[in-house]
Structure 1
């Protein structure tokens, strides 16, 4: 609700559908329970709300969306008048069957049209006032719009007394909101505390609710001098504890599982996208041409020994990216081997750069444990991308240490202004946000990432507790 705007045309449609469904079903039950109820009046109180519902559908989901698409004001006016006339004629006929005089019907019908028009105007104003850029997210807008929908539905129920009786008002304005309140109370104050292990808070809120309900019915019984009212308190409490709360808990559990699966799939998609982005960033023409040109130059000057070694390292990197990079976890030694190959190839490229100072310390100890692939290389890769300048002094310092059950990486590199000719889309690496997402998913409470930068230097420290 905070970061996404609700589709209120659909929300309004479903709320009105539910409202009219309750109205029609309640009227059918009341009419059928009364053997003396005239058939023509039964036809009136059932068909009249259905006609209004169809008119709302045509206006709200056909005519207005058509106008928003075409921006044809004349067409909007003509179709609106036609829909209002047809709906008014049919509903007027239903009201006539119920012996409703013309003045009362027209007062009712034009009140409904005015109410709907006012709602559209206020909704348009709210869009201008509460939507970005005025507010940075949609939380306030969604809340105000939902409250406005409920207010206008309540007003509509009181205006539509031609076919809305006291039973419907009690159901829609008292019983259903009360059930919704108890369901939300259960979810936020009981269910959440229970699954989090906050037993004390759970009991406080549960017994607080039971006590409040008991006191309310005791006071109501005393004020009305009807002791039997107190019996409704235990009845309501039993209904909550044995019916509403257990049923809602089942739905909450399904909802939590559904959200958990979505989060897991989202992380997997992000990881796959990150891996693909990294693969593309490494296997791109610039990287391959630079590597091949370096190997070609080395082959001319030497006896091809370094060339074969470089080709082997490049092959190892390619195999790693194509196969092991798709796994959730790999041996830490394989991640470090890939890092060594990457550094060796980069040093072949930049070994003749007089302005560049590179200091590399990789742990010679046996690093045990497993790690999610491609968590170390992005920081090293970014150091080579942003830390090297052919005109000014540059430096890159890499220190990788393996301790018992953990690995620690420090990367320090110089910072140079970006060239104005650089394409902002030409970003290498899987991206800091993707790395943070994978760390949060695979190493919750088991990692420490610190990134500090100033005008001349960029520092990264990453510590991981290994499996």
Structure 2
């Protein structure tokens, strides 16, 4: 709602500034003796006919500025203060009092201005005051009509068209924007100032602009989608467009002719054909462009859905693998040691399982939780090798105090791979894990020994699904924001990962 009020304010303000600039420019041309006689003849002939001196600034420029600024200020007070601040809060007493004050002030301003702008009439203030009592009622009535239409456009989304279908959201937004601009400019023509050209332009704006938008909406949201279903029915579509546009044009043309007190059939036929050609073409171009954009959006949604499905599949491949390895570790520990170490391993496994059940399926988690899971995993795996002196496990995992987030289960596959391939109970083995965070960058290194697998090893023919999955996840989640380096020899395996968080 606040956004729409800002649009209203700036539209009306820009239009007012435009007209003020035109008045000032006109006055500057007269004062510099450019077109002085033409201006004097056009605007001051009534003063001359009554034997009165016509001063361009006093009898035209200043009054026009007064008229427009009065309309502008009264509109701001009613639309941006009285209605939203008082009326909507049910403060009806202040609404009536302040409304009457603005009404009387507008009548007085118009009346004083009339004594200068229409000074050739040689009548007193009272004559103009009585006349403006009625005129300002019409002006404020137009304000009320505008507010009613605007509020319904903004808040009421239950309008139904034929067949019980609601209007598309696009047509509602367009109606708000077009209607706001149309009515904002129309307010400037409520007072005609005895200018025939201004009256004609105001009448055209009042009738033909709404007709153009209705024709545009009719073609874009009804006729063109209907034709799109069966392109063989072009002549049926064209006949509907001609007949509906003509039927829609007739009432607006009658109102327009009544406002300008003229009726020229040739002019109205030209306006109708011109509107049909321009608006029909514009609506077709917008319809085609919108249809292409919607098609691209649907394609992107399908691709995004496929990517999300692939990502979830990759995660599902990783999790059971971790649980399987952890249970194997506990099994080996239970055979070698007493129940105390087994209980310690079970506790760490429980923490890991809770992590996977509650946080692993989230899009991102705190980096501290990922590191806590990694420490539990390393400690759990270390239980089975703690009594073997030829196995060295070194870790330097720094704490990250910043509240940073990372996709879950990105780091563990490298550690799991190190324990899987880097540990041998018969040969000298080592694993080194380091993690450092600095300036939104995570630096992660895993370095381990490698050993030839035994023929009876059930994992001998496995292809390392975990590492391949993490490669794909990094490509999906951190494109152009990570660096993964993997080096392998017959005796050692090294991984370096950098992620921009």
TM-score by length of 2: 0.40
Larger radius of gyration: 2
TM-score by length of 1: 0.42
The higher relative CO (CA closer than 8 Å, separation ≥ 6) is in 1
